[in-house]
Structure 1
Amino acid sequence: MRWASLLVVLLVLAGCADSRTVAIDEVPVAADPLVTTPDASTGTFAVDCGRNESRHLNADNMVIAPGQPFGAHHTHEYVGNVGTDAASTDESLAAAATTCRAGDPSTYYWPVLRLTDRTGHDEHEPGGGVHGNTGEVLPPAAVDITFTGSPVSRVVPMPRFLRMITGDPAALNSGRGRARWSCTGFEDRHTDRYPDCPPGGRVLRTFEFPSCWDGRNTNSPSHRAHVEFPAANGVCRTGTFPVPKLRVRVAYDVPHGVPYAIDSFPEQRRDPSTDHCMFVNVMPEPLMARLTACLNTGGTCS
C-alpha cells in the first residue's frame, strides 16, 4: 500500500496523473453570458512583445516578493521589460529597454512550462533546481497580448506602475484558481487541467486580468485588493472604475504524447490549476491614452 501511494505521488510530480489531464475534445464548449450594451467600448489593442527569444528567465517575483532574489521558488518567463528582477523599482523599469514594440516597457511574466519526461535543471535557483521543478523548459511558440474594453461602458486609462496578478499560485489549497488551458482549434473550450491536444495542435494558456480599479492605488498589501474582476454581466462594482482588460495568451508546441507541467511552489505539486501571471503597467501616459481611446472608439489597433 505504501508503494502504491508513492507511485501516485511520483506520477503527479511527473505530470502524468490522469486526473490532471483531459482530452480537449472532452471539454465542453464554454458559454459566454456577456451581452454588449450600446455604451460598450468595443475596440481591441494588440501589443507585440515577442516570445522571449532572449530567454529572460529568473526565479524572482517583483510583484509578490519585491527585493527577494529567488522569492518565487519557481522559474518565471518574461516578455516586455528586459530588466525585470527582484530588485526592480518603478524607476528602474521606466529606464529599462523592452522587447515590446511601440515603446511599451511594461513587464508580463508567468511560470515556465517543462517537458517532464526528460532531464533539465534550473540555473535560476541556488543549487540547480532545489525548488523541485525538474524537466526541460519549453520556450513559447507564440505570445499574444491584447487589451479590450468593457461590454457595458467606456474605460479609463490604467495608472502607470499599476501591478496586477491573475490566477492563484496556491490554488491547489485555496480553490480560487483562474487557470484557462486549451488547444489551438478548440479556443472555445477551456479547462483547469492539462489538455491533451491533437497532433499538431498547440497547448494554450490564457491569462485574463481584473479590469475594475479602485481609482487610487497601484498596489495593495494583498497585491489584489486594488483591482477586481467585474460581475458576470461585465459591470464594475460601485466605487471601482473600468480599465482596459488585459489578456495574455501563450502557445506551446508540446510534442504529442509527451507529459508536461508548469513550475509551482513545491507543496502545489505542479498542479495545472495553480497557473498565474503578473503584469506591471509601465506604458508612458501618451501610449496608454492612445490605447484607451482605441478601445472607447471601437478601433482595431496595435
Structure 2
Amino acid sequence: MGRERRWFTVLICLVIGGALTVAILGVSRDGGASHGTAGTTAAPGDFVDIRDVPPARSEPLRGPDASTGTVTIDCGRNEEAHYNEDNLVISPGLRGGAHHTHAYVGNLSTDARSTDASLAAAPTTCRGGDRSTYYWPVLRRTDRPATHAYEKAAGHGNAGEILQPAEVRLEFGGNPVGKVVPMPRFLRAVTGDAVALTAAGDQNVRARWGCASLPDRFTTRYPRCPAGDRLTRTLTFPSCWNGLDTAGPERTHLAFRAANGVCPEDTFAVPELTIRLAYDVPGPDVPIALDSFPEQRHSPITDHAMFVNVMTDARMAAVADCLNTGRHCRQ
C-alpha cells in the first residue's frame, strides 16, 4: 500500500510540473500574454488594436551629403506561386531546412541548391530584368483550409490558406548622412530573427507590422486593422557592409546603421533595401498566423526576410548613382 501511495505522489508531481512548464512557456517576455501557440494559430495576446499603438519617432535629419534618392523595382506579387521550405541564405544546400514556407519574387529558380551561377542564368519576375531573389515567410488565414499542394508542404504546425499580398513594394533607399557605394554581386542579406521567441535577446528583432491607413504606427505584434484597411509588413535590411564578404556567419558582413544614420566603424553604406507587403484581411477578427519553426509558435516577432543581390555590376552602379544624386528611379 505504501509503494502505491509513493507512485501516486510521483504521478501528481509530474502532472503539476508539466502544467507549470506549459504556463511558463506561454508567458511573454513582458509578463503579459503568450506569444503564439504550438498549433496552427497565433495566441490572442499576439494581437493589438493598431489605434492603441503610438506613432513612431521620425527618421533622422538628413545631412548635407545625404543620398536622398529612391529606386523602386517591380517584381510582381508571386503570381507564379514560387514557394518552398528552403533558405538559401541561412542554410544553403539543406532542403526543407526552414520548416516553414517562404514566398519569393524575383529570381524564379531560388531554392536550397541554388548557386551564384544558377541564379545569374535564371529567369526573373522583375520587370526590368533584375535577377535578385527576395523572399519571406508566408502569412496564413488559419480559419480556411489549405487547398494547394504548396500550402500543405511545410507541416510543423504551419497550416491554413496562404494569403497572397495585395501589394509587394521593393525599394532601395540611400543613407541619411552620406553617399552609398554599390553592393557587391551575390551579397546575401537577412533581416529579422526567425527564432526571436526563444532567443536570449531581441537585438535581431526587426518585425514591423502595421495598417495602411496609419503608416506612422508600427508594432511587433499582429495589428488589428479597421475594417477595409490593409495589414502591412515592413522589412528593412542592414545597409552597412564590411567591404570584404558577400556572406558570413552571425551576419558579420552586414550591420544596421545607427538611429542617426551613421554606419559602424570600418563599414561602408550601401543601398538600403526595404520590402513592404500589404494584405487584404477582411476584418479585425480574422485569425492569421506567420509561418514559423514549431518552437516559435507563430510569434509575430519572428518576422524576417532574405535577399540575394544578383544585379549586374552595371545595374547596381546605376542604383547607387540614382540614390546619390537624389533622384527617384524605377527599374
Please confirm whether the aligned pair reaches a TM-score higher than 0.5, indicating the same fold.
Answer: yes
**Cα deviation, residue 132, structure 1:** 1.4
Other structure's SS at 2:170 match: strand
**Cα deviation, residue 79, structure 1:** 0.2
CA shift in 2, pair 1:128/1:35, >3 Å? closer
Residue 235 (1) aligns with residue 262 (2): yes
Asked whether the equivalents of residues 170 and 274 of structure 2 are also in contact (C-alpha less than 8 Å), the reply is yes
CA shift in 2, pair 1:216/1:136, >3 Å? same
Residue 244 (1) aligns with residue 271 (2): yes
**Cα deviation, residue 232, structure 1:** 1.4
Which residue of structure 1 lines up, in the alignment, with residue 235 of structure 2?
Answer: 207
Out of 97, 107, 111, which is 2:123 matched to? 97
Q: Which moved more, 1:43-52 or 1:250-259?
A: 250-259
Asked whether the equivalents of residues 14 and 259 of structure 1 are also in contact (C-alpha less than 8 Å), the reply is no
Q: Deviations over 1:103-138 (max 9, x none)?
A: 10000000001001122277459x844321011111
Q: Deviations over 1:141-175 (max 9, x none)?
A: 11000001000000000000000000000011223
CA RMSD of aligned residues (A): 2.0
Other structure's SS at 2:234 match: strand
Structure showing greater Rg: 2
Residue 136 (1) aligns with residue 161 (2): yes
Which residue of structure 2 lines up, in the alignment, with residue 21 of structure 1?
Answer: 47
Asked whether the equivalents of residues 121 and 134 of structure 1 are also in contact (C-alpha less than 8 Å), the reply is no
Residue 34 (1) aligns with residue 63 (2): no
Residue 289 (1) aligns with residue 317 (2): yes
**Cα deviation, residue 101, structure 1:** 1.5
Which residue of structure 2 lines up, in the alignment, with residue 85 of structure 1?
Answer: 111
Q: Deviations over 1:62-101 (max 9, x none)?
A: 1111111111110000000000001100000000000002
**Cα deviation, residue 15, structure 1:** 3.5
CA shift in 2, pair 1:216/1:11, >3 Å? closer
Asked whether the equivalents of residues 80 and 98 of structure 1 are also in contact (C-alpha less than 8 Å), the reply is yes
Query: Amino acid of the residue matched to residue 134 of structure 2?
Result: Y
Counterparts in 2 of 1:139-178, with a 5 A limit? Answer: 139-174=164-199, 175=202, 176-178=204-206
Asked whether the equivalents of residues 215 and 240 of structure 1 are also in contact (C-alpha less than 8 Å), the reply is yes
**Cα deviation, residue 18, structure 1:** 2.6
**Take 2:99 and 2:306, find their aligned partners in 1: how far apart are those partners?**
15
CA shift in 2, pair 1:74/1:186, >3 Å? same
Query: Amino acid of the residue matched to residue 163 of structure 1?
Result: R
Residue 43 (1) aligns with residue 69 (2): yes
Asked whether the equivalents of residues 41 and 297 of structure 1 are also in contact (C-alpha less than 8 Å), the reply is yes
Which residue of structure 2 lines up, in the alignment, with residue 180 of structure 1?
Answer: 208
What are structure 1's unaligned runs of at least 5 residues? Answer: none
**Take 1:122 and 1:227, find their aligned partners in 2: how far apart are those partners?**
37
Asked whether the equivalents of residues 122 and 129 of structure 1 are also in contact (C-alpha less than 8 Å), the reply is no
User: What is the number of equivalent residue pairs in this alignment?
Assistant: 298
**Take 1:10 and 1:32, find their aligned partners in 2: how far apart are those partners?**
28
